[in-house]
Amino acid sequence: MDGVRRRTVLGALGGTVAAGGAVGRIRRRESPPGPPDGVRQAPERPRPYEPRVQALLGRMTVDEKLGQLQQLAWSADTGPGAGQNAEAVRAARGGRLGSVLNLYGARKTNALQRIAVEESRLGVPLLFGLDVIHGLWTTFPIPLAQAASFDPAVAGRDAEVSAREARSNGVNWAFSPMLDVTHEPRWGRIAEGNGEDPYLTAALGAAKVRGYQGDDLADNDRVAACAKHLAAYGGAEGGRDYNSVDVSEARLRNLYLGPFAAAVEAEVATVMAAFNTVSGIPAHANRHLLTDILKEQWQFDGVVVSDYIAIRELTVHGYAAGGADAARMALNAGVDMEMASTLFVQYGKRLLRNGRITMARLDDAVARVLRLKFRLGLFRRPYVDEDAAITEPTAAARSAARETAARSMVLLRNHKSALPLSTSARSIAVVGPFGDSPDLKGSWAGPWAVTPRPVTVADAIKAAVPKAKVTHVRGVDAQGRDTDNIVKAVSAARAAEVTVVVVGEGAELSGEARVRSDISLPGKQEELIEAIAKSGAAFVVVLVNGRPLTIGGWLESAPAVLEAWHPGIEGGHAIADVLFGKVNPGGKLPVSFPRAVGQVPIHYNHENTGRPYDPHNPYTSRYLDLPDGPQFAFGHGLSYTTFDIGEPRLSVRRIAADALCKGDTVQVAVAVRNTGRRTGDEVVQLYLRDPVASIVQPVRRLCGFRRVTLDAGKSTTVRFRLSAEDLGFWTHDRDGNFAVEKGEIRLYAGNSSLAGGERTLTIT
């Protein structure tokens, strides 16, 4: 290999391939159930309502058209006229309102909908949007936890239950899934996404879109999904929310855009723009993102909605000269609906008169909103059945939440098989700030978070081992400030056969605007663990948190550590299920855990550099005071059994680039065997590396995964199919050139990003 490679550009693909997936007519993967591959120019979605859309559009005044582009925020429990409530009522009555957010409940939404439908001139129904992120009444694990399942069906199940509960309460639009890939554990919104990998994020995101939307948005148990935030929000400098992002075109397409492309291919109904700038241009005024790529290259025909008052913030960014300028920029860039701020309505008529926006663009935006309302069946059935409203979790929904939570947990450490615990234990101590705390739902549980109360870990352990004496001592508070009870916690641990230490972050420490510069356990929580360890008591640690944590010096003293994340309403039961072996943990980390915050950003899919880490050479990429690599790698996760994963076997060892571009694929087979004594789950992971490329590629990137369940001693073969879209990459061309280059591709199979089994594929 001489280091020079000729490039084959997939020009026929029209610039629509994305990392981990592509947009257009897709051939679905045989394995894993993840992002799609194969792409052709996308046919237009059938529009059976188009004659009615155009007829309605023709009857509208300019004020009514601009009103369809307005979403106002409803303020709950503050009385009439508070916030934008009074304006929402006036605008709905005047036919000058397209949507309301934060209003839910069948009776409440019906009341406002009746004003819009029965009192306005044209009777156009409203959209009701809500941040249904990981559940409504039934709170599922946070999305980061769901990603740890490495099972798209988990995300789909959450979305199905959430859609049913939301739609019955008048909500027909969920602002989810969040598809922001991030390498920043300090960023609080990492809890709301799927971690550091675009392929995994694409798989989970597409599944969640399908779960929300089903086959027909008009069904009374489905809602419109919203892929957010376009784009690169997870790349915010310093992990600070809303901060700037400076990114090359290749990095934008290869890292950040792939999950959105997969969501568009899954026919997501709406897309939300991001708060941040992208290389100096705010996303809400970024025509390259919202129109050139999303609407033209990907042929997205849904609605682009702004984030909360983000159009008004174009002036704060220093990009727009005032409100009129901001409205012009956002509408012309491709935003179709304005959330909370009101610049489209305020300045739209003036902008039309001055020729700063066109009637064609205004009509396009309004038509997109009307099509969504027709797709949701709102013109035919604008109201929901108040008697059928779901107002609490059903038994089936709770069961789904419990199973999902357990499936999302990751066994980080299990020295000398400290877990699972025995159900014959006569005494168990539960210590730590979250041992008897209902604070398990996590961020974005919504304004309804206070009810219903989650099952606590202590109560769940009592239910799992009813004959045992279970005691609880907090030890320290959630902030780790009050340490007066550490001595009592140690006494309880010494008196018990085994102790479960439950520590972590409260929900208020993760989510939007919840950025931490120190991502260790808060306050003196580590002192509690160290005191229990020094006591000589048998113990295990359970972490409940919304982000990767830096796990300090206590790790080696903890026999077992279970990452439970913020597990949701049935989280206590799910934790007990795993602790006592009713469920064998099979989750994997969707994000690297750093050793110290000074390592951030640290992620598996990094570039090699000209001087990669070498322990024998000080002049290489390293820290003087830390070992190389993360504390726990992407894809890491243990089990109560053991598995052997074989080397990847290829259907061909050589394939022509031209053949790949024409649709040929390479099949990869990986054998996996349960070598232990328990039934368990393993996630077979396939990675690739392109070691010599015209644009430097990551040392590894995920290109396939499959979670399998195997009985003790049993084996199976997992098969993956790699196409041009898996083996190539985007160049810096702003028009979107995707390249498959001749040379060697190294493939690795295993159970984490450190997978060792290797084969080489040669592209000729």
Please report which confidence band the pLDDT of residue 732 belongs to, taking 50, 70 and 90 as the band edges. very high
Q: Which one is predicted more confidently, 636 or 22?
A: 636
Residue type, 373: K
> 21, 37 in Cβ contact below 8 A?
yes
User: Could you tell me the two tokens for 481?
Assistant: 């400030």
Query: Does residue 208 register a pLDDT over 80?
Result: yes
Q: Name which of 275, 231, 277 is nearest 253 in CA terms.
A: 231
User: What tens digit of pLDDT does each residue of 391-444 get?
Assistant: 999 999 999 999 999 999 999 999 999 999 999 999 999 999 999 999 999 988
Per-residue pLDDT tens for 82-139? 568 999 999 999 999 999 999 999 999 999 999 999 999 999 999 999 999 999 999 9
Per-residue model confidence as pLDDT tens digits over 442-475 = 988 766 556 688 999 999 999 999 999 999 999 9
Query: Considering the chain, what is the average pLDDT of its residues?
Result: 92
84 vs 300, residue with greater confidence: 300
pLDDT band at 342 (very low <50, low <70, confident <90, very high): very high
Q: State yes or no: pLDDT of 246 exceeds 60.
A: yes
Whether 9 has a pLDDT exceeding 70, the answer reads no
Q: What is the mean pLDDT of residues 723-736?
A: 96
Q: What is the mean pLDDT of residues 253-261?
A: 98
- Which token pair is 330? 């956002």
Of 411, 304, 444, whose CA–CA distance to 367 is shortest? Answer: 304
Burial class (CB in 10 A: 0-12, 13-18, 19+), 169: buried
Q: Shortest CA distance to 331 belongs to which of 300, 352, 308?
A: 352
Higher pLDDT, 15 or 712: 712
**Strand, helix or coil for residue 704:** strand
Residue numbers annotated as active site? 307
Task: Decide if pLDDT at 10 tops 60.
Answer: no
Burial class (CB in 10 A: 0-12, 13-18, 19+), 167: buried
Q: Please report which residue ranges of 499-542 form alpha helices under DSSP H.
A: 525-534
Q: Is the pLDDT of residue 27 over 60?
A: no
Instruction: Give the least confident one: 39-48, 416-425, 561-570, 588-597.
Output: 39-48
Confidence of residue 44 (pLDDT cuts 50, 70, 90): low
- Beta strands 666-674 and 643-645, pairing class: antiparallel
What pLDDT is attached to residue 45? 65
Q: Is the pLDDT of residue 719 over 60?
A: yes
Over residues 128-161, the pLDDT tens digits come to 999 999 999 999 999 999 999 999 999 999 999 9
Query: What does the alpha-carbon distance between residue 409 and residue 540 come to, in Å, rounded to a whole number?
Result: 15
At 334, the pLDDT band (50, 70, 90 cuts) reads very high
pLDDT of residue 649: 98
Q: How, if at all, do strands 743-750 and 757-763 pair?
A: antiparallel
Task: Retrieve residue 410's tokens.
Answer: 């990751």
Judged by average pLDDT, the poorest of 2-6, 209-213, 424-428, 592-596 is 2-6
Position with higher pLDDT, 500 vs 553: 500
Q: Does the pLDDT value for residue 322 go beyond 90?
A: yes
Q: How far from each other are the two terminal CA atoms of the chain, in whole angstroms?
A: 12
DSSP string for residues in 126-179 = PEEEE--SS-SSSPPPPHHHHHHTT-HHHHHHHHHHHHHHHHHTT--EE---B-
pLDDT in tens, 272-282: 999 999 999 99
What is the torsional sign of CA 215, 219, 221, 226?
Answer: positive
| Strand 281-282 with 277-278, pairing | antiparallel
Amino acid at 103: L
pLDDT-derived band at 482 (thresholds 50, 70, 90) equals confident
Compute the distance between CA of residue 298 and CA of residue 257 in angstroms, rounded to an integer. 11
| Cis preceding-peptide flag for 177 (omega within 30 of 0) | yes
| CB-based contact 408:256 (threshold 8 Å) | no
- In the three-class reduction of DSSP (H, G, I as helix; E, B as strand; rest coil), residue 366 is classed as helix
| pLDDT on residue 450 | 61
Q: Which amino acid is at 292?
A: D
For 450, residues 6+ apart whose C-beta sits below 8 A from its C-beta are: none
- Locate the DSSP E strands across 463-559: 469-473, 498-504, 539-544
Enter the tokens of residue 483.
Answer: 């340490």
Q: Closest Cα to residue 432, out of 479, 465, 386, 376?
A: 479
Predicted confidence at residue 451, as pLDDT, reads 67
pLDDT number for residue 12: 29
Which of 546, 530, 540, 544 has the alpha carbon at shortest distance from 580? 540
727 vs 745: CA distance, rounded Å = 8
As a whole number, mean pLDDT of residues 284-309 equals 98
> What is the C-alpha to C-alpha distance for residues 351 and 358, in angstroms, rounded to an integer?
8
Start-end of H helices in 23-151:
50-59, 62-68, 85-93, 106-119, 143-148
Residue 553 has pLDDT above 60, yes or no: yes
Count of other CB atoms within 10 angstroms of residue 11: 12
Rounded to an integer, the average pLDDT of 21-45 is 34
- pLDDT for 318 beyond 80: yes
